[in-house]
């Protein structure tokens, strides 16, 4: 092994960042509610995100009931169906996935994994959560507003988003949605500044960038993307809000509605699409990169092997992040833009498959001859790889203009993005919760319930989304609440739709087992100890579990190695913690 320090290893350089002055909560309120501790904020973020996510889950059931058994449920009118679609999509993508990965896992894991006591701006971090909560409440309020929530589709395309014919278009729905998004972005920016600056300025001694666990790399890069991409959504929302409230014509062309000329004129709906997807495509990677990072750590830990090609993994994360900004118009192949643009964006889209494929190969090669422990977190991680490959391959179809044009706006697209950015990240979230729950609570989740939850979820997700590809290939359009008697749609499509609906209901109900497990294990789970998975990264080396306020007790840890020293030949155990100075120092023999 190469020893970087020329002198004694145990001479620790002075801290470049002086030990932070922690804020000290004085009452129950400031400890558990208005807390500035990143770990409490993380749990608040995660709890809120999961709660609103359950609402979105119920909405998906309602949609599936309509598609599987059309006409059976009289309360699901076409308008209601559009509202369900819109709210389901928006909640899942932004208020659940983004908030849970960055606000939840980011807040909990970044300070612990880089050896900091807390985020660098704890007060701003606290504000971030409360603004997020406000955004969620405003979004929820739109269910109870006159006219109901907006039914514009999750992309909120103008002009239809603010016209009378769209549910919520000329009532409260769209206004509440836009205001909620604007608040979400402001709140996220506050949190995002914390995640980025903590990674850059708050690392402990010895934690060079190339020693950070890939989870931190993933969350960090995703946050950078989000900070630069969310302003695009902000701009789009502000301008649409002005169009709706004041009557400007940023996006609204001249329109005749019910025989009446509207006051709008000259606006560009395509401009909205550009802004929306300039945010929307990085958003895919804002969700995917943390998942990539987390899954790398789960696989390495539970296969007891160092991650294959760590450097390549880091470079791939950064490359994907950079490329994700120049592929946005592949969502707009059918918008009537210049064919040369389509050609350009198809090329960049296919190029981004290269770093992504590198990551997949490296996960598989990490598993190769590993000592694989098929515990629940590992099962979810493996399921992610399979699902991500699956969704990624259909992405190659849709990334090509000529293939995309006939498939555009069919259920094939729905199946594709649910596989790649719905099911795949959710599998990682489950795996991550099973993996880190022992650190958060001090107890392990029940393994039996975990396995049951995994198999139902994994097989069920395929039962839902695999047939959906075929439904789409036949030509069934998305966003249609009822298919009617179209000649090109065979009767078997209806059978498949009914099957998908039943599967969706079963998978949804299986999540109750997971929620029960979360609550039950809090009291009755097996005691986990500090490091139940015998993992190397810093969060497992805290002096007490769950980690107290300030994380590390008297001294912050010093890092001597990377995060993947598993099964090192000659080492006394099959892992060496990052803060383990190693045998040389222990024996007193240096260099």
Partner 1 sequence: MSVILVFLLVIAGISAWWLAHQRLMSKPWLEQGSLTATAYTAAPGMPTAKFGLGVFLAVVGSLFALFASAYFIRMASLDWQAPPLPRVLWVNTGILVLSSVALHLGVSASRRDALSSMRLALVAGGLCTLAFLAGQLVAWRELSASGYWLRSNPANSFFYLLTGMHGLHIIGGLVALGRTTARAWTAESGDRVRLSVELCAMYWHFLLLVWLALFVLLAGWVNDFLAIGH
CB-CB contact of 516 with 282 (8 Å): no
- Rounded least distance, CB 116 to partner 1, Å: 11
- Rounded least distance, CB 559 to partner 1, Å: 7
- Rounded least distance, CB 255 to partner 1, Å: 14
Return the residue matching tokens 């470049």. Answer: 16
Among 227, 284, 327, 421, binds partner 1 (CB under 8 A): 227
- Rounded least distance, CB 97 to partner 1, Å: 21
Site for partner 1 in 293-352 (CB under 8 A): 306, 310-311, 314-315, 318, 322, 325-326
- Containing H/E element for 210? none
Q: Which is nearer to partner 1, 113 or 379 (CB)?
A: 113
- Rounded least distance, CB 224 to partner 1, Å: 8
Instruction: Give the separation between CA 279 and CA 295, rounded to whole angstroms.
Output: 25
Site for partner 1 in 27-46 (CB under 8 A): none
In this structure, the strands spanning 256-257 and 260-261 are antiparallel
Nearest one of 53, 45, 98 to 508, comparing CA atoms? 53
Look up residue 203 and give its DSSP letter. P
Q: Which is nearer to partner 1, 5 or 451 (CB)?
A: 5
Site for partner 1 in 477-516 (CB under 8 A): none
Q: Which is nearer to partner 1, 96 or 110 (CB)?
A: 110
Q: Which is nearer to partner 1, 436 or 566 (CB)?
A: 566
Question: Would you list the DSSP string of 157-173?
Answer: -TTGGGSTTSTTSSSHH
Q: At what angle do helices 376-399 and 447-474 cross, to 10 degrees?
A: 10
Q: Which is nearer to partner 1, 458 or 564 (CB)?
A: 564
549-571: string of b/e by CB count within 10 Å (b at 16+)?
A: bbbbeeebbbbbbbbbbbebeee
| Choices 56-64, 269-277, 396-404, 463-471 (CB under 8 A): range interacting with partner 1 | 269-277
Site for partner 1 in 520-579 (CB under 8 A): 558-562, 564-565
- Rounded least distance, CB 107 to partner 1, Å: 16
Q: Which is nearer to partner 1, 243 or 404 (CB)?
A: 243
| Choices 264-272, 405-413, 414-422, 533-541 (CB under 8 A): range interacting with partner 1 | 264-272
- Rounded least distance, CB 495 to partner 1, Å: 45
Among 228, 473, 489, 502, binds partner 1 (CB under 8 A): 228
SS3 annotation, 473-526:
HHCCECCCCCCCCCCCCCHHHHHHHHHHHHHHHHHHHHHHHHHHHHHHHHHHCC
Nearest one of 39, 189, 46 to 119, comparing CA atoms? 39
CB-CB contact of 290 with 105 (8 Å): yes
Among 267, 355, 399, 460, binds partner 1 (CB under 8 A): 267
Q: Which two tokens stand for residue 460?
A: 């069920």
Q: At what angle do helices 172-201 and 107-114 cross, to 10 degrees?
A: 10
- Rounded least distance, CB 478 to partner 1, Å: 27
Site for partner 1 in 194-223 (CB under 8 A): 196-197, 200-211
Angle (CA) 46-49-55 rounded to 5° is: 140
Q: Which residues contact 319 (CB under 8 A, 6 or more apart)?
A: 355
CB-CB contact of 9 with 560 (8 Å): yes
| Choices 170-178, 247-255, 402-410, 509-517 (CB under 8 A): range interacting with partner 1 | 247-255
Among 86, 140, 171, 249, binds partner 1 (CB under 8 A): 249
- Rounded least distance, CB 186 to partner 1, Å: 11
Tell me how many residues contact partner 1 (CB under 8 A). 72
């Amino acid at each position: 092994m190469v020893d970087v320090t020329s002198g004694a290893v145990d001479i620790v350089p002075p801290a470049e960042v002086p030990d932070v002055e922690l804020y000290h909560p004085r009452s129950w309120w400031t400890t558990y509610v208005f807390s500035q501790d990143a770990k409490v904020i993380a749990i608040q973020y995660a709890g809120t995100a999961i709660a609103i996510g359950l609402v979105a889950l119920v909405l998906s059931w309602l949609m599936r009931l309509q598609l599987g058994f059309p006409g059976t449920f009289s309360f699901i009118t076409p308008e209601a169906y559009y509202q369900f679609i819109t709210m389901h999509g928006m909640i899942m993508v932004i208020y659940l996935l983004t908030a849970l990965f960055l606000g939840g896992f980011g807040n909990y894991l970044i300070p612990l994994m880089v050896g900091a006591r807390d985020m660098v701006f704890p007060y701003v971090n606290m504000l971030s959560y409360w603004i997020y909560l406000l955004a969620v409440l405003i979004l929820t309020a739109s269910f109870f507003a006159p006219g109901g929530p907006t039914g514009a589709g999750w992309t909120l395309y103008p002009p239809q988003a603010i016209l009378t014919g769209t549910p919520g278009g000329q009532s409260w729905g769209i206004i509440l949605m836009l205001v909620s998004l604007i608040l979400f972005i402001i709140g996220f920016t506050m949190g995002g500044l914390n995640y980025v600056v903590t990674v850059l300025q708050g690392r402990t001694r010895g934690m060079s960038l190339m020693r950070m666990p890939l989870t931190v790399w993933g969350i960090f890069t995703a946050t950078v993307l989000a900070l630069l991409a969310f302003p695009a959504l902000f701009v789009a929302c502000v301008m649409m809000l002005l169009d709706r409230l004041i009557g400007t014509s940023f996006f609204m062309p001249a329109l005749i509605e019910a025989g009446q000329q509207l006051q709008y004129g000259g606006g560009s709906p395509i401009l909205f699409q550009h802004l929306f997807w300039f945010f929307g495509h990085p958003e895919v990677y804002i969700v995917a990169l943390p998942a990539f990072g987390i899954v790398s750590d789960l696989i390495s830990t539970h296969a007891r092997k160092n991650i294959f090609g760590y450097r390549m993994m880091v470079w791939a994360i950064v490359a994907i992040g950079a490329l994700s900004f120049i592929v946005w118009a592949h969502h707009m192949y059918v918008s009537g833009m210049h064919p040369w643009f389509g050609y350009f964006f198809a090329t960049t889209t296919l190029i981004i498959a290269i770093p992504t494929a590198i990551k997949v190969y490296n996960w598989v090669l990490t598993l190769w001859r590993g000592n694989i422990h098929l515990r629940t977190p590992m099962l979810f991680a493996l399921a992610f790889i399979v699902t991500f490959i699956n969704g990624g391959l259909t992405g190659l179809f849709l990334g090509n203009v000529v293939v995309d044009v006939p498939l555009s706006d069919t259920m094939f697209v729905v199946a594709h993005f649910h596989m790649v950015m719905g099911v795949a990240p959710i599998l990682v979230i489950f795996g991550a919760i099973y993996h880190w729950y022992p650190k958060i609570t001090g107890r392990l989740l029940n393994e039996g319930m975990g396995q049951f939850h995994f198999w139902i979820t994994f097989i069920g997700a395929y039962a839902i989304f695999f047939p959906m590809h075929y439904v789409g290939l036949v030509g069934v359009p998305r966003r249609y609440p009822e298919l009617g008697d179209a000649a090109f749609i065979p009767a078997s499509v209806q059978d498949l739709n009914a099957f998908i609906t039943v599967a969706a209901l079963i998978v949804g109900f299986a999540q109750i087992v997971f929620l029960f497990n979360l609550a039950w294990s809090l009291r009755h789970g097996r005691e986990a100890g500090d490091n139940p998975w015998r993992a190397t990264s810093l969060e497992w080396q805290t002096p007490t579990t769950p980690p107290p306020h300030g994380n590390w007790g008297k001294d912050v840890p010093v890092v001597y190695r990377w995060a993947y020293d598993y099964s090192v030949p000659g080492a006394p155990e099959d892992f060496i913690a990052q803060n383990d100075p190693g045998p040389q120092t222990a024996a007193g023999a240096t260099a």
